[in-house]
Amino acid sequence: MSEDRKRRERGSSEERGGDRGARRGPPRVRDFSKDNVRWGICHIYSSYNDTIIHVTDITGSETIAISSGGQIVKSHRLESSPTAAMAAAKKVGEIALEKGVTGLHVKIKAPGGHNGPSNPGPGAQAAVRTLSRMGIRIGIIEDVTPIPHDGCRKKGGRRGRRV
């Protein structure tokens, strides 16, 4: 059987659901240099006790807006919740848009160090998601949790904490 005949029996590529394997040219890479975006930095400190969201200018020296989960909710146990982080991010995002910041580079920080947990609390992801839903362009998401380089000795002594 010839190749031409096999192809006719199977049907055209449009009948089978389009030409899936075809390349449509080079992948599109968005060029942010042409867009008129005013960038800022969003510092998110997220622990299991609270979430603090701090928006600065691109140099990091001037504060544009700041809010925390503790300012939003009344109960202490809800300060680190994703709901409180979403409300704090919405408050900060509105102020940032009002002042002309349309894009944010996000720096997420957990307590870290030689004693604290190195993974961020439950509010960090909710805050980033809320900022992006508000129409603010998210640039780089970076983890800036402090990591010890064997500086201080952990508490508990040579044999560790005995329970």
Higher-pLDDT residue of 32, 49 = 49
Domains assigned to the chain: 44-143 (3.30.420.80)
Q: Which residues pair with 106 in a beta bridge?
A: 42, 141
128-147 tens-digit pLDDT = 999 999 999 999 999 999 99
Higher-pLDDT residue of 35, 72 = 72
pLDDT band, residue 17 (cuts 50/70/90): low
What's the mean per-residue pLDDT of the chain? 88
82-139 tens-digit pLDDT = 999 999 999 999 999 999 999 999 999 999 998 889 999 999 999 999 999 999 999 9
Q: Which residues pair with 143 in a beta bridge?
A: 108
Sheet of strand 137-143, all strands in order from the earlier edge strand to the far edge: 63-68, 51-57, 39-46, 103-109, 137-143
| DSSP secondary structure code for residue 34 in this structure | T
End-to-end CA distance of the chain, in Å? 78
Contact 124, 46 (CB under 8 A): yes
Q: Do β-strands 63-68 and 137-143 pair in parallel, antiparallel, or remain unpaired?
A: unpaired
Q: Which residues pair with 65 in a beta bridge?
A: 55
**Cα–Cα distances in angstroms (integers) from residue 110 to residues 42, 50, 72, in the given order:** 14, 11, 20
Amino acid at 121: G
Report the range of poorest mean pLDDT among 34-48, 57-71, 129-143, 149-163. Answer: 149-163
DSSP 100-151: T--EEEEEEE---TTTS-SS--THHHHHHHHHHHTTPEEEEEEE------S-
Q: What percent of the chain has pLDDT over 90?
A: 67
CB atoms within 10 A of CB 49: 13
Which pLDDT belongs to residue 24? 75
Q: What is the pTM of this model?
A: 0.75
What span, in angstroms and rounded, lies between the C-alpha atoms of 154 and 19?
61
